Copies of this chain bind each other. A is one copy, B any other.
Amino acid sequence: MISDTNKTQSETIAVRIRTLILNGALRPGQPLRQEALSEQLSVSRTPLRHALQSLAEEGLVETIGYKGARVAELDRGMVDDLFEMRLVLEPLALRSALPQITKLDLARAEMALDAADSEEELSRLSALNWDFHHALYRPSNRQMLLRTIEQLNKASALAEVIASSIVVRPKKSASEHRKLLQACRNGDEAGAIAALGEHLQLAHHDIRTGKD
């Protein structure tokens, strides 16, 4: 998607750490020592700190001044918040996008679903999950809305990891996604909105039950 030419190390490092978190290698609550991480990832502490800050603003890690950074812990209330917000914002984006959606967008969404079917790694799975949703919302051309939704999706990905609901989710998620995609193809706005709402509520439910 984005050219790798401007590979500012801070960003690549942020991606790698995000991967570690979403794969469960770094568990929620675990402290992130700068020196250890920097040598493990073979970079200086400077870009590492930038990456940690980025992830902090994303909500994946919590950082306290002079004390350090930890992988974020999301309690049930936070997860409820996340999905309640997604449940009102994402239909908004979808409704705005549908009239302007192109075959290319739909193809992109389908590609993400196909790739997800044969993907095992959790971080890539959640990335593909976002690719799918993003493909459907992007035609709305509403940057601010999409930005906020993206943040919520990333945080949701962490919630799924915490809930360990990823073992069962992908299969169910796939069929829900297909149904949503089909409705979009048919230009069935009401059906698409309904499918999206269902999908989000099911995901929320599975995360809640899988949690504790």
Tell whether, in the assembled complex, residue B85 and residue A89 are in contact, meaning their CB atoms are under 8 Å apart. Answer: yes
Instruction: Give the distance in Å from the alpha carbon of A6 to the alpha carbon of B67 in the complex.
Output: 10
A102 interface hit (Cβ, 8 Å): no
Residues facing B in A64-110 (CB within 8 A) are 65-66, 77-78, 81-82, 84-85, 88-89, 92
A141 interface hit (Cβ, 8 Å): yes
Number of interface residues of A (CB under 8 A): 32
A contacts, CB < 8 Å to B:
6, 8, 11, 46, 49-50, 53-54, 57-59, 65-66, 77-78, 81-82, 84-85, 88-89, 92, 141-145, 147-148, 151-152, 155
19 more contacts with CB within 8 A, not counting A8-B65, A85-B148, are A46-B46, A53-B53, A53-B54, A54-B57, A57-B57, A57-B58, A59-B147, A77-B141, A77-B143, A78-B143, A78-B144, A81-B143, A82-B144, A84-B92, A84-B145, A88-B88, A88-B92, A148-B151, A148-B152
